[in-house]
Structure 1
Amino acid sequence: MPVNFPLPRKDELAPEEQQASNGRLIKRITFFGDSAIPEDDPIYKSVWEAARILAERGFAIVNGGGPGIMKAATDGAESVNGDTVAVYWQPKLASFFEGKNLANVTDESETFSNYLIRTLGLIEHGDAYVVCKGGTGTVSEFGMVWALAKLYYGCHKPVILYGEFWDGLIEAFQRDMYIDDIERGVLYQATTPEEIVNIIDKHELQIQHCGKRRFSGDEAGFVLGAEVKLTQETHDAIASSYHGEYAGRLVAQEQMEEFMSLVHPPAKVLDVGTGPGHDARFLSEKYSVTGIEISQKFAEIAKFETPRWKSSTPM
């Protein structure tokens, strides 16, 4: 069994610390687990029930968008109209991968071809992690969130090992690897859906002090704390960095030059999906350019690249 550090009891906390509110730090739960577990397996049914209970409590459910454990988590949450998020991996070269499950339909989704970036997405989207039985993919995900919980201990995201089978694995780690007290202490174990809920509530109470801290930058997705909206200065810094590395790169320079030879100014150009704005900057040398870009990040980069552009971006 993982050894957890003592948690405060509810009756030892001040009344204001006991109050549940919409401002809680843990809002999204990421499920990791095997894609090959069938729907009639007890593990599948247990994950389905856990996701249902969590969704009823207002938590959004995040998973990798595949079959097995991932679909169980989605279906359980959707059964009570809960919020669901899938982070897909769509590789171009990998030979052994189950792929996107078309039956795993979520409210939100993202798709990546890079496995590591996809894993990072699952980690950043989740405020807590439920790690179920799985293969090497689950092992890699578990190792990453376990390490992050130790590295950011104090405002860390809880790692919940789901199932009795974890006993032997954790004992082996403690016996044969170099596992310190904090590494043992950041792990929880649950064998029922109700225990998952209780652990999340307890961890929330333990790290309430983190709600007063504000995090931003690349590491903000690894800790629990107050959300920080990107400021204009941050967007400018991102745009400046992008400009330094990619300035002047046209997506389709030959096509742009052909277009400019055919359409004589004065002309008005609508650039849909502006991206970083290189094409808009090139076209704005002769034309009046209006850009549409749904990504706030790229909209700010485009404005940096092409100050003259007229943005109709919904911000």
Structure 2
Amino acid sequence: MSDEGLPETGRGYRRGPVLLRGNQIPKTTTDQRLLASDQDTDWLHSDPWRVMRIQSEFVEGFGALAELGPAVSVFGSARTKPDHPDYRAGEDVGRMLVEAGYAVITGGGPGIMEAANKGAAEAGGTSVGLGIELPFEQGVNQYVNLGINFRYFFARKTMFLKYAQGFIVMPGGFGTFDELFEAVTLVQTHKVTQFPLVLVGRSYWGGLMDWLRTSVLEHGTISEADLDIIYLTDDPAEAVRHVVERAHQIAAEQAALQAAAVAEKEQEEAAGPGAQGLWLPTTLGGA
């Protein structure tokens, strides 16, 4: 008998898709445990309950950002101070992205994230902060005008990727490296449609790019084409310009592919069923 009271064939106890046997078979049913009045609250911290919280984070994120429009995610260190040149470059990036018609998405924290949000907000644009629950963080910065706070990194990362038409990555630490390489990996493996990815700061990122071109490429663990995913510059204006131009180019390429697919389908439908079979011998004979 299953947990739902339905007869089961075969050996074992089935609870939905899960098969239980031997000492794994519970002594009570799901309904009994649900309706029991003397249970403790440990279930609030169990994995099945976490799944519900994870689901809620995706639902809230999708709901808040679905109508965001064109956006670019900007990454960088939370430790950068307002008097640092990187902070001022972050402000420029945020402002110029808004002027180019984009919303700005950051991790919502201090440092370069705050700078990009500040530039976007002061330019009158949408300044998004995707915060994360950490023991040493103090919530989203004051320049965020659309903020979402996440418990789980992977739910937050999905929002960075799903709603951005490009990434601009400024000098940062391990968190920035993580976001950079995850984005590169998703583009390289075609898990996402290719989008522009720019590193700002030759003196900071140049060593990494040299290592990729020598040790990594020469070792055969990446291809020459993989290096083309990343664009390196010192100029915030050039970074924004590259994102805008490359995003338009990718959109045009995708539109052309879709138009070609529609035209091919229309030709097949116009030819009627069996048309390919009729034409194939003629084509082969002509060859």
Is TM-score (shorter-chain normalized) higher than 0.5? Answer: yes
The structure-2 alpha-carbon separation of the partners of 1:154 and 1:125, relative to structure 1 and needing over 3 Å to count, comes to closer
Question: What is the aligned partner in structure 2 of residue 200 from structure 1?
Answer: 243
CA gap of 1:61–1:70, structure 2 versus 1, over 3 A, is same
Alpha-carbon displacement from aligned partner over 1:38-84 (angstroms, at most 9, x marks no partner):
00000000110121111112110000110001100000011111111
1:38 paired to 2:81: yes
The one-letter amino acid of 1:161's match is: L
Write the mapping of 1:88-107 to structure 2, written as runs, cut at 5 A: 88-91=131-134, 95=135, 97-101=136-140, 103-107=141-145
Runs of 4 or more above 4 Å deviation: none
Q: Deviations over 1:244-291 (max 9, x none)?
A: xxxxxxxxxxxxxxxxxxxxxxxxxxxxxxxxxxxxxxxxxxxxxxxx
Once the two structures are TM-superposed, the CA of residue 211 in structure 1 deviates from its matched residue by 3.3
SS of equivalent residue, structure 1 residue 62: strand
Q: Answer yes or no: is the 8 Å Cα contact 1:153–1:186 preserved in 2.
A: no
> Does residue 177 of structure 2 align to residue 133 of structure 1?
no
- CA distance in structure 2 between the aligned counterparts of 1:48 and 1:184, rounded to whole angstroms: 27
Secondary structure (helix, strand or coil) at the match of 1:71 reads: helix
**1:1-315 map, 5 Å:** 27-91=70-134, 95=135, 97-101=136-140, 103-152=141-190, 155-164=193-202, 165-177=204-216, 178-207=221-250, 208-211=252-255
SS in 1 for 2:131: strand
Please state whether the residue corresponding to 1:58 is helix, strand or coil.
coil
TM-score normalised per structure 2: 0.60
Q: Which amino acid aligns with 1:199?
A: H
For residues 102 and 226 of structure 2, the distance between their equivalents in structure 1, rounded to whole angstroms, comes to 26
In structure 1, the gaps of 5 or more residues are 1-25, 215-315
How far 1:202 sits from its partner (Å)? 2.8
The 1-side partners of 2:157 and 2:142 are apart by 18
Q: Distance in 1 between matches of 2:193 and 2:155?
A: 23
After superposition, the Cα gap between the structure-2 partners of 1:154 and 1:203, relative to the gap in structure 1 and judged at 3 Å, is farther
**Per residue, is there more helix in 1 or in 2?**
2
| 1:175 Cα offset (Å) | 2.1
2-structure distance, mates of 1:170, 1:149: 17
Q: Alpha-carbon deviations, 1:13-58, whole Å to 9, x = none?
A: xxxxxxxxxxxxx921101110010000000001101211111121
Matched letter for residue 224 of structure 2:
D
Amino acid at match of 2:174: T
RMSD in angstroms over aligned alpha carbons? Answer: 2.1
- C-alpha contact (below 8 Å) 1:61/1:77 kept by paired residues: yes
Q: d(CA) in 2 for partners of 1:169 and 1:85?
A: 29
How far 1:86 sits from its partner (Å)? 1.1
2-structure distance, mates of 1:30, 1:158: 11
Structure 2: unaligned runs, 5 residues or longer: 1-68, 259-287
Question: How big is the shift at 1:99?
Answer: 3.8
- Tell me the CA shift for residue 213 of structure 1: 6.3
How far apart are 1:122 and its partner, in Å?
1.6
Amino acid at match of 2:215: D
Structure 2 counterpart SS, 1:127? coil
TM-score by length of 1: 0.55
Paired residue secondary structure (1:86): strand
User: What percent of counterpart residues are identical?
Assistant: 26
Residues 30 and 129 in structure 1, CA contact (< 8 A), matched pair in contact too: yes
Higher relative contact order (CA closer than 8 Å, sequence separation 6+) = 1
Give the 3-state SS of the residue equivalent to 2:239 in structure 1: helix
